[in-house]
Chains A and B, each alone.
Chain A
Amino acid sequence: MILAPMDPKEIFIWSAILGVSLTTFLTRGSFILLGARVRLPEVIDRALRFAPACALAAIMVPDLVLVHGTLKVAGNPRLLAAVVAAVCFLVSRSMILTIVCGMAAFTAIRLWL
């Protein structure tokens, strides 16, 4: 990669990049790499069916309702846009249309309200 002696800042950045990359690979690979030798208890198996929806909601919802770490429901353009997008999804079942409608609503609110 880089053969010249690295300054401490380079070492810091590369360790962080490689460390984050490694945790990503090891978490994604954990059970896949261990293979069928490790069996899941029934309770974990049940939990699995609910985990993705809960994880995605836990990442997504704070992003919509928090403004700089504070709850803001009334007059929150991102939340309003998400409501428009959700209605659009329920009607159309199309992800592309949902994103386009939501972003159009957000842009309209941002520019004219």
Chain B
Amino acid sequence: MTASSERTAASREGVRDFLAVAVGVAAWGLVTGVAMAQSTLEIGHAVAFALLAFAGSAQLAALPLMTSAAPVWLIVLTALVVNLRFVIYSAGLAKPLSGLTLRRRAWLSFLVGDLPFALYMRKATADPNWSKSDSYLAGMGTANWLVWQSSSITGILLGARIPREWGLELAGTLALLALVIPMVIRRVAAAVGVCAASLVAIAANRIPLHLGVLIAIITGVTAAMLTESLERRFQRLRPNAESAT
């Protein structure tokens, strides 16, 4: 295959892998849009917010503060804390993307949200020989952007017409659930980390500025790493034990 047809194939593969989770993204975008429209934001502001930020959780975190006219620095800081997980994602992508031009890297930075990162990492972990194609990420990211923006703008336009008791935002949460389960199945360390993160997130939910989420992530990752160290030590003590995969 030529380099350009390889890129096209990788890009198509990214779109195809994204389509498996597109319903969840569409539901999440729709819900974010509806929430924007049901706040005090005008339609133009809400659409601009969706197009420029392209970050459902940060937008939803900022919204109540914008409605209550909180200081801009507090709104931006809240969004920053909610977004800190992206720094972790970005660190994971720095190496595979390091050969690209600055413009290409900036474009991919704009596109990478929770789902493209998780799917990319899942693929890279499942197949160590995979070429870690940036075209795969770009194809997936573009499809994600299109689905999220169109559903988000649809949500803004539908606005208050969708009754809140339908609980449509639950669909977005269920999509996250279907994403987390395969990450913890038969992986003790990851499962311990997810349990610790969940418990801390529940206990710390009253801490302001969504800092509880950040504390929960740090606790969960630490617990997972400690468990992994214990697992390794345990395996060294029992050299005949079945090696972990």
Residues of A within 8 A of B (CB): 12-25, 27-36, 38, 40, 43-44, 46-66, 69, 71, 77-78, 81-82, 85-86, 89-90, 93, 95-96, 98-99, 102-103, 106-107, 110
With A23-B58, A50-B220, A51-B221 as known contacts, state yes or no: A17 contacts B52, CB within 8 Å. Answer: yes
User: Which residues on A sit within 8 Å (CB–CB) of B175?
Assistant: 95, 98-99
User: Which residues on B sit within 8 Å (CB–CB) of A86?
Assistant: 177, 181
With A34-B94, A51-B85 as known contacts, state yes or no: A29 contacts B170, CB within 8 Å. Answer: no
Q: What DSSP secondary structure best describes chain B's contact surface?
A: helix
Interface residues of B in 53-89 (CB under 8 A from A): 53-55, 57-59, 62, 65-66, 69, 72, 75-76, 79-80, 83-89
Q: Are A48 and B194 in contact (CB under 8 A)?
A: no
With A44-B91, A56-B114, A99-B27 as known contacts, state yes or no: A19 contacts B225, CB within 8 Å. Answer: no
Contact of B53 among A17, A35, A65 (CB under 8 A): A17
With A23-B58, A33-B102, A99-B174 as known contacts, state yes or no: A55 contacts B27, CB within 8 Å. Answer: no
Interface size on B, as a range, is 35 or more
- Contact code string B191-221 (vs A, CB < 8 Å = 1, else 0): 0011011101110011000000100110011
